[in-house]
Structure 1
Amino acid sequence: MGELVIMAGYGLTPDAETREETAVAAAQSPTALKWWFAVEMRRMRDSKDLGRDEVAQAIKGSTPGIGHIESGRSLPKPLELDKLLEIYGQTERAEFFHDLRDRAKKGKDWWIGFGPHVRSYFNLFLGLESSSPQIEGWDALVPPGLFQTPDYAEAVIRAGYSDLPTTEIDQLVELRMARQREVLEREQPAKVWRVIDEAALRRVVGSPDVTKGQLNHLAELAERPNVDVQVVPLDAGAHTGTEGTFTLLVAPPELENYPGCVYVETLVKGYYYEELEEITKYRNALTRLRVQATKPEDSPAFIRQIAKDL
């Protein structure tokens, strides 16, 4: 199960009611809440070594219906939820799961107003990103969207979607700026640590002035206490163990046994890697890149020098 759109595999300790409540409070996105609900339902079923068909028969439901619950497509009805918890031996957690279900049904994702401008596979990423306490990754071609200025973002999006009308490009730029507000400007901003290739910073995007503005903005961000930026210099040579840009999303600490996930986007769709072995490969690759890169405290000056060189 290497490539998934919904991740599974973590669990909370049975007596972690307070932590569960904190987890719900920290993840207000219905998409993120449904994802949590889905993977926890699957974890509990797996722990009992039950097949979906067996569970479906026990609650007088359908096997596809159980699949929809475990993929985040739908939520069980209250009586179905009670029966599932009984089967899984988790009746003491009923209050929490009913509250989680209600929040998932009544909540509203922050990006809902962008509607058609959000690709279907990207919805989950937006929910997880806005709920993650730590976001890490490698950027081989351009600075990450969370760090881009409006002018730079417009140039990047226009180059990638040259067939879109200006109004739609403007909406995509605003979506990117909204992501930045949700992650970097929230009451408890996420810790963001990105490693960027120097070639990505020297590549002129839009115009020299747009690129200089982006670099100066990046240098300022790198001085924030919740942001670390490292740059892999051109003279570091070849990079081993990486195939391109990727993002590591760390799970909230309340989800003790879930290792997080890695998000990789292609021209066609996004992939979520959640198996521990897969995550370890990406984290090892990121560690190697960090060793080759500038120290975080040296990065602002390094980036400003690149801006002067343009």
Structure 2
Amino acid sequence: MSSHLNPIVRLARPAGPDWTKTAANTMLGRAVRELREKAGLTQKDLARAIHVSNPTLHRLEAAETKPMRRTVEAVIGFFDLDQAKRDELLMLLSRAQEPEWFQERFGDCTPDYLHRLLGLESMAVDITTYDVRLVPGLLQTPEYTDHIVRTGLHLSEWDGPEVEMRRAQRRERQQRVLGQSDPPRCIFLLDQSILGRMAGTKKTMRGQVVHLREMTDLPHITIRFVLSSRMIAGNAAAMAGSMAQLQFGREGLPDFVYAEGYEKADYFFQPPRGLGSPAKPPTPKQSDYERHLQLLLRIQGEGCASPAKSQKMLEKAIRRYS
């Protein structure tokens, strides 16, 4: 299922040393799981065979912690992999042991719940987001970001390094995702109220709205406004907060939906293909992914102005803030 009404399945980004730590860790865990399942082994069987604990193997496959070299090398030796597969796993291991881009410089201002999103979004080939309160971070101007950051800080922190650090993190995030030579195809669904909710001065708002209008001219960016008059905006969508679906393409990472609340977030991953049947209902986690994806599809299909009308709404807002 895709959030695009006429989906075109794109290939995943090729594996390589420029992969993010989080992506490499996830793909390494998946590769180990696939080797184990192809051999018909349980986690307990493989853990016993390579002399590690079952929790250690589980954490490796689930990409929950930094992988240990001795565990990965034990897996490689047990399955007697050829040189190409051995090199692939060792490359993923090497990248998975390095820090993520934001951890060293921006670790203090990056909440834990954002780590997985920031570590994976640059690897996506398609991103669909819904924001009900603010312009999403990927589209914010520096001045708009300043206001959002300052309102979350104590007055005594306004002249400290916190504001500039968070603004620099936002700039680097935007560059890593949208500034790529092959950026993801993005659909931004913004609640109509964002156009009227003041963030800073009229000059700040005008600059932000002008930026949004300019972004709509890019071939890989679509901005649509969720209209207040549509019924979908009056129920589940209005209560949802921010959501995003990230798709990684054929043979890529598992797609997921990110749902953000106040100082917390949930990640709902696409269930492996082939799971679930009339005789075996989906698990709660699988249902959560489908339910959030259906809500995104409903917002896009039932609640949004067209891209052309959304451009006109931006142009009207520009005149209002001029």
Range class of TM-score, shorter chain: 0.7 to 0.9
Alignment of 1:225 onto 2:222: no
| Residues 1:27 and 1:295: Cα distance change in structure 2 (over 3 Å) | farther
CA displacement at 1:155 relative to structure 2: 1.0
Q: Aligned partner of 2:247: which letter?
A: V
CA displacement at 1:134 relative to structure 2: 1.5
1:125, 1:301 → 2: CA distance?
Answer: 31
Q: Aligned partner of 1:230: which letter?
A: R
**How high is the TM-score relative to the length of structure 1?**
0.82
Matches within 5 A, 1:98-247: 98-105=90-97, 107=98, 109-111=100-102, 112-162=104-154, 165-166=157-158, 167-239=161-233, 240-242=235-237, 243-247=240-244
Q: Aligned partner of 1:169: which letter?
A: V
1:228, 1:171 → 2: CA distance?
Answer: 29
Name the SS of the counterpart of 1:273 in structure 2. strand
Name the SS of the counterpart of 1:270 in structure 2. strand
CA displacement at 1:90 relative to structure 2: 8.0
Alignment of 1:53 onto 2:20: no
| Residues 1:25 and 1:77: Cα distance change in structure 2 (over 3 Å) | closer
CA displacement at 1:44 relative to structure 2: 4.4
Q: Which residue of 2 aligns with 1:284?
A: 294
* Cα distance per residue 1:225-261 (max 9 Å; x no partner): 1100001122224424432210111114332xx5400
CA displacement at 1:129 relative to structure 2: 0.8
RMSD: 2.6
Name the SS of the counterpart of 1:192 in structure 2. strand
Q: Aligned partner of 1:298: which letter?
A: K
Equivalent pairs, count: 286
Give yes or no for contact 1:194–1:229 (8 Å, CA) kept in 2: yes
Q: Which runs of 5+ in 2 are unaligned?
A: 1-10, 272-286
Range with greater deviation from structure 2 (210-219 or 234-243): 234-243
1:267 to 262, 266, 278: 262
Name the SS of the counterpart of 2:111 in structure 1. coil
Q: Aligned partner of 2:59: which letter?
A: H
| Residues 1:47 and 1:263: Cα distance change in structure 2 (over 3 Å) | farther
Range with greater deviation from structure 2 (293-302 or 89-98): 89-98
Give yes or no for contact 1:262–1:282 (8 Å, CA) kept in 2: yes
Q: Which runs of 5+ in 1 are unaligned?
A: 1-18
| Residues 1:39 and 1:162: Cα distance change in structure 2 (over 3 Å) | farther
1:47, 1:140 → 2: CA distance?
Answer: 44
**How high is the TM-score relative to the length of structure 2?**
0.79
CA displacement at 1:77 relative to structure 2: 2.5
